[in-house]
Amino acid sequence: MKVETRPLTEADLPAARICNRTAFSTFYGMPDPSAFRRGADVIGPRWRVWPEGAMAVDVDGSLAAVGLMMHWGSVCILGPLTVLPKYWNTGLARRIMTALVEVIEHEDFAFTGLFTHPQSPTHIRLYEDYGFVMQRIIAVMAKPPMAEKAPVGLALFSEAADPEGELDSMQALTHGIEPGLDLRREVRSIAAGGLGETLILRDDRGLAGFAVCHHGPDSEASEGQMLVKFAGAASGAQAPDRFARLLAAIESHAEQRNLAKVIVGTNVGRSETYRIMQDAGYITEMNGIAMMRPAAEGYNRPEKFAIDDWR
C-alpha cells in the first residue's frame, strides 16, 4: 500500500466531501451518508478561505483522508479531520495531524483550537499526542426563529456602501474579543461565494456587533437552516445588551429567509453568552469539547460575547 501526504487541491474537493460524509455518517451510525448535515458543504468553503491549511492522504493514488483548518488571524481552528472508514486504525489521521501541525507551526497563531467528541477517549488521545489539551464544553445550540422584528441599526454586508470600512470595524471589534482575532477572510468568502450573509449591527457608538451567517446552497449550513459561523458583540459594559440584540438580528434574518432553524455554538466558558442564549430559547443539540494547543482559555471567558462554530 503506497501512502502519500500532500496538500489538498481544488480537484480533490468532490472526493474530500465524500470522505467527510462517509466518515461522519459511519461514526454516527447513519446508513445514508447524505443524511449527515444534509445539504451542507464544510469542505469547499473552508478550502477556499485557506487552501494552504488543508492536507490530504492518498492510498494507492486515491484520496483516503483529509484535514482542513480555519485561519482566524491570531487564532487557528483545526477541523474537520476525516479518514475513509476502510482505512481506520491504520495511522492516516496521525499523518494528517503531523502535516497540519507543521502548517500551524509556520504561522504565528496565539493558539489553535478544535472541537471533538468528549465521550471518545481515542479522539482525545489522538489530539493530546499533538499537544492539544482538553478545555471546556462547546454547546451546539439550535432554535426555530421566532417572528422577531429586526432590531434598529441592522444592515447587511452585501449592501454596504463601504465594505472595506466595515471590514476594518469588524477587525477592531474582534481584536477587542481576542487580540488579533480576525474574521475578515470568512466575511469576504461568504460575500464572494454567495454563501449567506454577514449581519452588521450598529449603535450610536459604531459597530455593536456582527454575525457571519451561512445559509443556502454550497454553504456550511444544512438544508433549510442557518449556521452562524461567528458572531461577536463589541466588548464593554454594554456588551450583554449588544449581544442580545445581535441574537435578535440573527433570528430576524433567518425568519426573513424562511429558514426553519438557527444553529449556533458557544464554548460554555463564555458563561454570560451561554446564559443569554438559553434565556433566548436556544437548546443544546450536541456537546463537544474544546481542545487547545497550547493549553489556553483564549476568548472562552465569562466577559466575552461571541458565538462560533468550530466543527
Ligand X SMILES: CC(C)(COP(=O)(O)OP(=O)(O)OC[C@H]1O[C@@H](n2cnc3c(N)ncnc32)[C@H](O)[C@@H]1OP(=O)(O)O)[C@@H](O)C(=O)NCCC(=O)NCCS
Beta partners for residue 141, in sequence order: 264, 284
DSSP secondary structure code for residue 73 in this structure: B
Contact 33, 25 (CB under 8 A): yes
> How far is Cα 289 from Cα 134, in angstroms, rounded to an integer?
7
CB of 288 to ligand X, least distance (A): 8
Nearer to ligand X, 81 or 139 (CB): 81
Nearer to ligand X, 85 or 165 (CB): 85
Nearer to ligand X, 89 or 258 (CB): 89
> How far is Cα 248 from Cα 258, in angstroms, rounded to an integer?
15
Q: How far is CA 98 from CA 140, 195, 249, in A?
A: 28, 31, 41
The contact mask relative to ligand X for 93-112 (x = CB under 6 A, - = no) is xx------------------
Contact 21, 41 (CB under 8 A): no
Q: Which stretch in 22-30, 141-149, 244-252, 253-261 sits in contact with ligand X by CB under 6 A? A: 22-30
Q: Say how many C-beta atoms besides its own lie within 10 A of residue 7's C-beta.
A: 13
Nearer to ligand X, 42 or 187 (CB): 42
CB of 3 to ligand X, least distance (A): 11
5 binding ligand X? (CB under 6 A): no
Q: Which stretch in 47-55, 73-81, 163-171, 173-181 sits in contact with ligand X by CB under 6 A? A: 73-81
Going by C-alpha positions, the residue among 228, 212, 204 that lies closest to residue 170 is: 212
Give the number of residues in contact with ligand X, rule: CB under 6 A: 21
CB of 144 to ligand X, least distance (A): 27
Q: Which stretch in 29-37, 85-93, 187-195, 233-241 sits in contact with ligand X by CB under 6 A? A: 85-93
Contact 3, 98 (CB under 8 A): no
125 binding ligand X? (CB under 6 A): yes
273 binding ligand X? (CB under 6 A): no
Instruction: Classify burial at 165, counting beta carbons within 10 Å of its beta carbon; exposed 0-12, middle 13-18, buried 19 or more.
Output: exposed
Q: Which residues bind ligand X (CB under 6 A)?
A: 23-24, 27, 79-83, 88-94, 116, 120, 122-123, 125-126
